[in-house]
Amino acid sequence: MNATFADAPVRLRTTALAKSYEAKNGPTPVIADLTFEVREAEIACIVGPSGIGKTTLLKCLTGLQSITSGDALIDGKPIDGPPEEMALVFQEYTRSLMPWLTVTRNVRLPLKHLRLPTAEREMRISSALEAVGLKGAESKYPWQLSGGMQQRVAIARAIAYRPEVLVMDEPFASVDAQTRFELEDLCLRIRKDFGMTIVVVTHDIDEAVYLSDRVVVLGERPARVTKTIDIDFGGPRDQITTRSLPAFAELRAEILELIRAAG
């Protein structure tokens, strides 16, 4: 286990999680047996071949879908609906932002039901927008912003909510390479500044190695955890130096090999 997180409490735990979808000829198992944990302030990436069940797993973890058997727990409590402690960021930012609301009002939206004092709520919004580099864009509408900036709004909205766990499904898949690097570094900063636990589904192996303290590799059909790999580069990460480390190349090759074998 990564030494930095060895003593941190477990935020998210799945034990023998299984999921079947109902089909005409009976239940079709998609996930057979997933057991893994994510500790406080860890970044965990879920990787695996296309169609293996990554999105299905996220839907189970976020309570959008029921599990068929096994357990999914947040802070030791069963997840049986969308947990208040969680926020979700999707790949499709165009569908997650309200085009008729300004940036500030999009970020404010999920805060309404927290019933915060107005000053606290507005402070959260402005510090979240500052954290994602959107100061000055408060009164713009989503359609006036680039794709990368729209995804920053979605991330700011999640940060302002201050979830314990931030779950992201292919969050940077629809932006250009440079923006992708910036958003990955933003993710590392959010974890550091807010102590958030972050779970990311990605099909980009390099992204998984760069971001993760823990990579959960899914394989076989129905899905199981093929391997959980702890990653510790021994210091802060940087897009150029970290990606040039021999350990980075070794980890990438190991994960790629596992996914190829599973595909």
| Residue numbers at the binding site for ligand ADP (CB under 6 A) | 21, 30, 48, 50-56
In which element (H, E) is residue 14 found?
strand 10-23
Nearer to ligand ADP, 1 or 64 (CB): 64
Q: Report which of 201, 198, 210, 204 is spatially closest to residue 239, judged by C-alpha positions.
A: 210
Backbone dihedral region of 115: left (phi > 0), alpha (psi from -120 to 50 degrees) or beta? left
Nearer to ligand ADP, 39 or 54 (CB): 54
* CB of 116 vs ligand ADP, minimal distance in Å: 34
Q: DSSP strand E in 57-142: where?
A: 69-74, 77-78, 86-89
* CB of 52 vs ligand ADP, minimal distance in Å: 4
Nearer to ligand ADP, 153 or 198 (CB): 198
CB 193 within 8 A of CB 155: no
In the chain, % helix, strand, coil (3-state, to 5) comes to 40, 25, 35
* CB of 36 vs ligand ADP, minimal distance in Å: 15
Dihedral angle sign, alpha carbons of residues 3, 184, 38, 51: negative
* CB of 154 vs ligand ADP, minimal distance in Å: 19
Give the whole-angstrom CA distance, residue 193 versus residue 190: 5
Q: DSSP strand E in 121-244: where?
A: 165-169, 197-201, 214-219, 223-230
CB 154 within 8 A of CB 166: no
Nearer to ligand ADP, 67 or 190 (CB): 67
Nearer to ligand ADP, 153 or 218 (CB): 218
Nearer to ligand ADP, 55 or 242 (CB): 55
